[in-house]
Amino acid sequence: MSVYGSTREQDIKELIQRLKKIYKFRDLGQLQYFLDIYIIHNIDNRRIYICQDSYVDKRIKHYKIDTSSKPPSTPVSHNQDLIKYESEAHTERIRMYQKKVGSISYPANITHPDIAKTASKLAEFLVNPVPEHEKAADHCLQYLATTKFPAIEYTALGDGELTAQVPNEELQIFKNTANASFANGADCRSAEGYTFKLFGGCIDWAVQKQATVSTSTTEAELLTLLF
């Protein structure tokens, strides 16, 4: 499948004609579903939304996650401190845990920045997970089941410019934020993360543990700027 776009209808028609001379393909029209990503077009209001509700439903069903109890409000339990264990995990448990974390990591990278930190934390235990780690992964999947419908929204404000004039203010079309959580892990290494937003919606984000131990909040936040 190929995805293309242009503000000029004639350019699209010419591209299709050139491709038809080389390949056999069908034009499926406006993009609506791609790589388990649902794309919603609101042409009248000049907005596009992306979400992965169908993908989440399939993962919940595949792993037989219980969604009948009270849904969690956060991707990880507040009182759950995940740490590494010395005991050796069974091969089947390792394989299942790795599959679950992989299923969590995909939306964490595409449409769910709210679970990026949790996905990063769960990935620390891929080699030797224990029941507590798998329970945390199931908790995150339950959270995804309850937050599958909120979508990332992109607007056409600015007409391609990086700022747009709106009533009483200048709206920044392109934004970047970065932050660090000083020494919040058992090994005293700080967590860091960033987001980039364009046209009102996140286009890139990441969370990771810093490679070195920072000696102050200021140092941790300065290192984040180099992330």
User: What distance in Å separates the CA atoms of residue 198 and residue 202, rounded to the nearest whole number?
Assistant: 6
Q: Which of 54-68, 144-158, 160-174 has the lowest mean pLDDT?
A: 160-174
Specify burial of residue 101 (Cβ count, 10 A radius: 0-12, 13-18, 19+): buried
Domain ranges of the chain: 53-146, 160-227
Q: pLDDT, tens digit, for every residue of 47-103?
A: 889 999 999 999 999 999 988 888 889 998 876 777 787 778 888 999 999 999 999
Strand partners, 180: 192
Which residues sit opposite 171 in a β-bridge? 164
Can you read off the two tokens belonging to residue 103?
A: 């299923």
pLDDT at 69: 84
Separation CA 137–CA 133 (nearest Å): 6
Task: Average the pLDDT over 136-146 and give the result.
Answer: 94
Query: pLDDT of 99-128, one tens digit each?
Result: 999 999 999 999 999 999 999 999 989 988
Strand order in the sheet with 37-42: 33-34, 37-42, 47-51, 152-155
- Please state, in angstroms and rounded to a whole number, the distance separating the CA atoms of residues 194 and 207: 7
According to DSSP, residue 167 is labeled: T
pTM over the 0.85 mark? no
- Residue 161 is predicted with a pLDDT of 57
Beta strands in the chain (DSSP E): 33-34, 37-42, 47-51, 152-155, 163-166, 169-172, 174-181, 191-198, 201-209
Sorting pLDDT into bands at 50, 70 and 90, what band is 1? Answer: low
For residue 5, what pLDDT band results from cuts at 50, 70 and 90? low
Residues 209 and 120: beta-carbon distance below 8 Å: yes
**Which phi-psi region, left, alpha or beta, contains residue 148 (left: φ > 0; alpha: ψ -120 to 50)?**
alpha
